[in-house]
Structure 1
């Protein structure tokens, strides 16, 4: 009698592995999307917190560089990382799921309007993950905030908190 597996046994093993793979692969993709959403929410919270802390400490964003304010990975609209650009001269973006999802711009205090962070969103060519991020409750809280009638705007300073 020869030792080994019969053809029927091998087919059963392959079928069982196929069933397990068909269950596991979609769950892994959903886990990746959940991680991207969590990272985006954390990055927004960190950005607002860092900008507020910097503004309270220094009193102005004039002449400051993005990297001096926050470690959040912001990019230019072309997708290149922001390294030396002045925060008050350039808008940064959070890329989520490979697409530009949330634009961020720091604006210094004006006469009657406090220093603020202005958020912009893209309406065209957004990925499914970006749409999920924009629908997340903490992100909606930032995007629904207003300062002196300016929508999608978060005031920076010692009392900044949304979610």
Structure 2
């Protein structure tokens, strides 16, 4: 007698594997989306923390470059990483982008303090939705994530963001030096 599987047994195994794969693949895709959202939220938090730390130590942003301030990957337009770009000078009045899923979902603008005006304008970071891209790919999920929504809803009296609609502002207070 020959040992082995019959054709019917092999077909049943293939059908069962196909059913399992049809259930598992969509769940894996959802996990990838959740991971991308979590990465973006983490990058925003790290970026704000890095910018705050730099500002507290230096008292201004001056000629700081992204590579000197943070390791969070930001881009200027569709170009490569903005590591050697000044953080307060970019496209559209200082705009840099945080990519998510290969799409420019969030605009980041950093403004240094301005003591030439009365009253003096503080340094701040603006986080805004990217116009035109916010309905593509993963962007709606990122914009609707609770921590990102909280950042986008932040308002500071006396500071008008570049993006009047859908932008949040976080103000950096000057450091207090103790000698």
Instruction: State the Cα RMSD in Å.
Output: 1.7
Deviation string, structure 1 residues 123-155 (Cα, Å, up to 9, x no partner): 424433111010011001111111225352111
- Secondary structure of the structure 2 residue equivalent to 1:147: coil
Q: 2:122 aligns with which of 114, 130, 135?
A: 114
Match for residue 78 of structure 2?
A: 78
Of residues 149-158 and 80-89 in structure 1, the stretch that sits farther from structure 2 once superposed is: 149-158
Match for residue 163 of structure 2?
A: none
Scaled by the length of structure 1, the TM-score of the pair is 0.91
Instruction: Return structure 1 stretches of 4+ with deviation > 3 angstroms.
Output: none
The unaligned stretches of length 5 or more in structure 1 are none
Separation in 2, partners of 1:156, 1:71: 19
Of residues 31-40 and 122-131 in structure 1, the stretch that sits farther from structure 2 once superposed is: 122-131
Match for residue 93 of structure 1?
A: 97
Aligned length: 159
C-alpha displacement of 1:158: 7.5
C-alpha displacement of 1:75: 0.8
The unaligned stretches of length 5 or more in structure 2 are 161-166
Mark the CA change 1:42 to 1:158 in structure 2 (over 3 Å): closer, same or farther. Answer: farther
